[in-house]
Chain A
Amino acid sequence: MLKKLGEALEYLGGARDAAPAEFSLKLASAWWGLWWGALLAAIWVFSGQSSKFIYIDF
């Protein structure tokens, strides 16, 4: 189970080119839009860490 999950995450992260056998989501699926949107939001949420925060009053 963990091995399969690891393979799926490696595929999602671009570490492997071929999808695992159990990974049924096709490249043309609309669900990939959600994945890319969530990734963009996650990148934005954490990109502030390069800022020099001194005042944090809210």
Chain B
Amino acid sequence: MKPRAFFIQASIALLLIVLYNVAITLLARQMPARKMIDAVRHLEPGALFIHGNSTMDAAFNDAIFAKATGEKPFRAALGATLPVDHLNLARLAFNSGKPRAMLYGFYGFQLYEDPTNSWRQFSGNRCLSLLIDPATAIRYSASNSIVDHLMIRLAAALPALRERDVIWFKVEKLRRALADVGLPSTAANKFGRVADFKQLVLFTPQDVHRLSQSIISSDRPFCGPLVEMFDLAKNAGVEVTVVAMPSHPTNLPLEVRSDWNAYIAHVTKKLRQQGIRLIDATDWISEEKLFEDVLHVNEAGAVRFTEKLAQQWPVSRARP
């Protein structure tokens, strides 16, 4: 085969790959991360920025809270996001329409979980970090790996890498549908399959004891992205309230409650030093029937959480 013929074939193949990237870009316009970024760019000044991961997204009821407090909540909490993404989204919000305050929900020991190094983690909703500020993603997730550094840069530039889950999720949903043929349907909610979330409860009672003791005795700072996010808020004049999100009754059994309470007391003290309030909602929902799975409350649970949060809100604001 002559080189010219090979060149033509390679060019046509390359053109198809370019078209594939264009198709991904068009499909990705409906992704929650993209819609969230657009919404945050048009954030109304003075809003209450509701921030965090899926535990906050599932638990917060905008209408109930707005009616009870007179606040203008803007829900920016997104499933499957981590502190690096929260930092990026908060920075975008503070630079767009400045929110009056931020309500940040965390689960477990997330305040102290340092980011891991890997470019692959920026998928699904986490592509928002690649869309907003790849440099921050690199700073926290490629600090000692030139490969991860380059791949984050490449993924930020190429839709087929950055928003690969637009297609992959469709294929996975098809695979799950085919796997369920002829079998009882698998329990699922708006975030995914109920059984899968058990894998995300990453701490055993022994872990709760070990992590609580370690965090309290070392008195170490929160993870880097959250330290930066709280500093940004302070500099922007945004009042921050942190919420320890409700825990499913099976996640924190009685034998670890003293460790957990000591941990929450420690976090409260550390946040107070920065002028940040903590609302401990760990025990607000004690019935299993008010949860969708081991992490997320259902609609009735969200009503209970939001009503309690609204009751605490004016008191918490008055006493930092």
B164 CB to nearest chain A CB (Å): 6
Given known pairs A57-B32, A58-B32, the reply for A51 and B9 (CB within 8 Å) is no
In the complex, what residues of B have CB within 8 A of residue A56's CB? Answer: 124, 169, 172-173, 191-192
Give the bracket for the number of chain A residues in contact with chain B.
20 to 34
Contact yes or no, B172 A37, CB < 8 A: no
The answer, yes or no, to whether A9 is at the interface (CB within 8 Å) is no
Chain B stretch 1-59: residues in CB contact (< 8 A) with chain A:
1-2, 5, 8-17, 20, 30-32, 54
Q: Is the interface of A mostly helix, strand, loop or mixed?
A: helix
In the complex, what residues of A have CB within 8 A of residue B166's CB? Answer: 58
Contact yes or no, B125 A28, CB < 8 A: no
The answer, yes or no, to whether B181 is at the interface (CB within 8 Å) is no
Q: Which residue of B lies closest to A39 (CB)?
A: B13
Select which of A28, A37, A45 is within 8 A of B13 by beta carbon: A37
Contact flags B168-182 to A (C-beta < 8 A → 1, else 0): 110111010000000
A48 CB to nearest chain B CB (Å): 3
The answer, yes or no, to whether A23 is at the interface (CB within 8 Å) is no
The answer, yes or no, to whether A2 is at the interface (CB within 8 Å) is no
In the complex, what residues of A have CB within 8 A of residue B15's CB? Answer: 33, 37
In the complex, what residues of A have CB within 8 A of residue B191's CB? Answer: 55-57
B165 CB to nearest chain A CB (Å): 7
Contact yes or no, A37 B16, CB < 8 A: yes
A49 to B169, CA, bound (A): 9
Chain B stretch 154-199: residues in CB contact (< 8 A) with chain A:
160, 164-169, 171-173, 175, 190-193, 196-197, 199
In the complex, what residues of B have CB within 8 A of residue A15's CB? Answer: none
Contact yes or no, B160 A44, CB < 8 A: yes
The answer, yes or no, to whether A21 is at the interface (CB within 8 Å) is no
Select which of B9, B160, B164, B190 is within 8 A of A33 by beta carbon: B9
Contact yes or no, B12 A34, CB < 8 A: yes
The answer, yes or no, to whether A12 is at the interface (CB within 8 Å) is no
Contact yes or no, A36 B1, CB < 8 A: no
In the complex, what residues of B have CB within 8 A of residue A40's CB? Answer: 13, 16-17
Contact yes or no, A37 B80, CB < 8 A: no
Given known pairs A54-B196, A57-B191, A58-B30, the reply for A36 and B9 (CB within 8 Å) is yes
In the complex, what residues of B have CB within 8 A of residue A32's CB? Answer: 9
Chain A residues with a Cβ under 8 A of chain B: 27-30, 32-34, 36-38, 40-41, 44-49, 51, 53-58
New A-B pairs, 16, CB < 8 Å, besides A33-B10, A55-B79? A36-B12, A41-B16, A41-B20, A45-B168, A48-B171, A49-B175, A53-B168, A54-B193, A54-B196, A54-B200, A55-B54, A55-B125, A55-B191, A56-B191, A57-B32, A58-B125
Pairs across A and B, CB under 8 Å, 7 listed: A27-B1, A28-B2, A33-B12, A49-B175, A54-B196, A54-B200, A57-B191
Chain B residues with a Cβ under 8 A of chain A: 1-2, 5, 8-17, 20, 30-32, 54, 79-80, 123-125, 160, 164-169, 171-173, 175, 190-193, 196-197, 199-200
